[in-house]
Structure 1
Amino acid sequence: MPRIIPIRDLKKTSELSELCREAKEPVFITKNGYGDMVIMSMETYEKTMLMNDIYRKLDGAEQSIAKGEVVDGFESIRKIREKYDL
């Protein structure tokens, strides 16, 4: 379940840092009852960015397949073996 805290709690920096590390997901900050910011630990940020990169690459691969921009795997391996005399 997402953690939601009011902006006034940003003053408690040590507690907030610990909360972000424990949550292992973004922590939502509200201002006057409305969403204002999102913060997270560096570990969570890095994992999120890694997953975004993976999804972006998968999407690109699926688009290439849909366009027919594919190469036969066995043919590719055969060419590599010929090129490098393997």
Structure 2
Amino acid sequence: MPKIRSSADLRNNYNDISTFCHTYAEPVFITKNGKGDLAVMSIETYEEMVGRFELYGKLQEGLDDVAAGRTRPWAEVKAELAKRWEV
């Protein structure tokens, strides 16, 4: 269940909200005049979320390459890499 606090709570109880975000690694939704306004989360949670989005983007690029036929056989790639690393 999402944690919902008012903007006055954010102003008056910042440390409690910060502790919650760091302890539970989930956002707190802040309301203003009874309506949703912000989502507050720890930097660690934010960075993890952004990293996940970047990973999903890279995975989608790979899936798009497969769908478009932009692939090469593993044996060919392996041979090319081995050639590059020869002394």
TM-score, normalized by the shorter chain, greater than 0.5: yes
The amino acid of 1:59's aligned partner reads Q
**Percent identity among equivalent residues?**
35
Q: Which residue of 2 aligns with 1:3?
A: 3
What are the superposed Cα offsets for residues 15-53 of structure 1, whole Å, 9 maximum, x if unpaired? 121111122111111112211001100111111111111
Task: Name the structure 1 match of 2:38.
Answer: 37
Q: Determine helix, strand or coil for the equivalent of 2:30.
A: strand
Aligned position for 1:17: 18
Residue of structure 1 equivalent to 2:28 = 27
Please tell me whether the aligned partners of residues 3 and 23 of structure 1 are also in contact (alpha carbons under 8 angstroms).
Answer: no
Instruction: Give me the CA root mean square deviation.
Output: 1.4
Could you list the runs of 5+ residues in structure 2 that have no partner in the other structure? none
Question: What one-letter code is carried by the residue in structure 2 that aligns with 1:14?
Answer: N
Given residue 67 of structure 1, which amino acid in structure 2 is its aligned partner? A
Q: Tell me if structure 2 keeps the 8 A contact 1:20–1:27.
A: yes
